[in-house]
């Protein structure tokens, strides 16, 4: 098992040095363990390129299968430990603004129901690689189920046009034809949102005044509050700002083509912590 763990870490990083740091070993110890595994298998798993190591084709195939197998071992171990202790932990990836604006304000309710469990939150925007990231489950937004993963559709995304109070006070009529005259701020992971909104209202796309784009929805919200432009954001992420008057909405919510999902690999579906969190989350929705 120690040889397999050394190989898996070295293969994931394609670096003996980073694998050694992760495993609290020396670089030479990792190198020796990988060489011992290669001798046992009669295979060349890595090739040297100067001071770097790179997986061979068979090494990459072996890593893919090995990572999945180690993931199942980890899942089985955590299930057994959770069953014995009545506790457990979940490593959850979530969209940053969804996590801070929707999930975290409600998470104390989960802990009331499951006081022995821990949910470790990781903010992620990019696609999750469940084989290498160590993440158990993720909350994502997309257009459809992700092939090869268990997907629970949480709710459809409703987008709302938001303005700063100063911008809103500039004129009384905020009908769609007037809104399109404003500088339109974008979120990078949903670049077609304004195009869908314009099509929905029968407005010509050539009249769009596209402004800067933001990686985080929370940054776009701050830019709208500062009066830089107007935004089109999920309604559930600006409920507090609308209630407090920090932002003003214009028009009815617009149903986008995306939905929020809870996703995870099939091997994790019986993980006690995930079962508890899934049941609580679906109940919230």
Whether 272 has a pLDDT exceeding 90, the answer reads: no
pLDDT (tens digit, 9 = 90+) per residue, 123-174? 988 888 888 788 999 999 998 888 999 999 999 999 999 999 988 887 666 7
Which residue blocks in the chain are alpha helix, DSSP H?
Answer: 2-13, 16-23, 27-41, 57-85, 96-98, 104-113, 165-168, 176-179, 193-200, 217-225, 239-244, 272-284
- On whether both 97 and 73 belong to a single domain, the answer is no
Query: What pLDDT is recorded for position 172?
Result: 67
| Residue, of 51 and 243, whose pLDDT is higher | 243
User: First vs last Cα of the chain: how many Å apart?
Assistant: 42
Domain around 276: 88-285
Token readout for 47 is 């090739």
How many domains, in total, are found in the chain?
2
pLDDT (tens digit, 9 = 90+) per residue, 201-212? 888 888 888 999
- On whether both 174 and 69 belong to a single domain, the answer is no
* DSSP at 109: H
Does the pTM surpass 0.85? The reply is: no
Q: What CATH number should be reported for the domain holding residue 186? A: 3.40.190.290
């Amino acid at each position: 098992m120690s040889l397999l763990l050394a190989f898996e870490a070295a293969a994931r990083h394609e670096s003996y040095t980073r694998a050694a740091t992760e495993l609290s070993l020396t670089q030479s110890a990792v190198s020796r363990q990988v060489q011992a595994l290669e001798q046992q298998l009669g295979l060349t798993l890595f090739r040297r390129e100067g001071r770097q190591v790179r997986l061979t084709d068979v090494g990459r195939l072996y890593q893919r299968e090995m990572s999945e197998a180690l993931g199942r071992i980890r899942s089985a171990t955590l299930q057994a430990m959770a069953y014995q202790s009545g506790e457990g932990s979940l490593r959850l990836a979530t969209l940053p603004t969804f996590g801070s604006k929707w999930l975290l304000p409600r998470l104390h309710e989960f802990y009331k129901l499951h006081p022995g469990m821990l949910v470790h939150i990781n903010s992620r925007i990019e696609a999750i690689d469940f084989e290498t990231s160590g993440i158990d489950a993720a909350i994502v937004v997309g257009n459809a189920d992700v092939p090869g993963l268990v997907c629970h559709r949480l709710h459809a995304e409703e987008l709302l046009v938001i303005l700063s109070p100063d911008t809103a006070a500039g004129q009384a009529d905020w009908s769609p034809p007037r809104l399109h005259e404003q500088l339109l701020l974008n979120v990078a992971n949903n670049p077609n949102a304004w195009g869908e909104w314009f099509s929905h209202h029968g407005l010509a796309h050539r009249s769009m005044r596209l402004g800067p784009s933001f990686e985080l929805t929370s940054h776009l919200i701050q830019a709208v509050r500062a009066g830089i432009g107007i935004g089109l954001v999920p309604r559930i992420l600006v409920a507090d700002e609308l209630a407090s008057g920090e932002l003003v909405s214009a028009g009815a919510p617009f149903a986008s083509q995306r939905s929020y999902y809870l996703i995870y690999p099939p091997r994790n579906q019986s993980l006690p912590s995930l079962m508890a969190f899934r049941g609580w989350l679906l109940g919230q929705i």
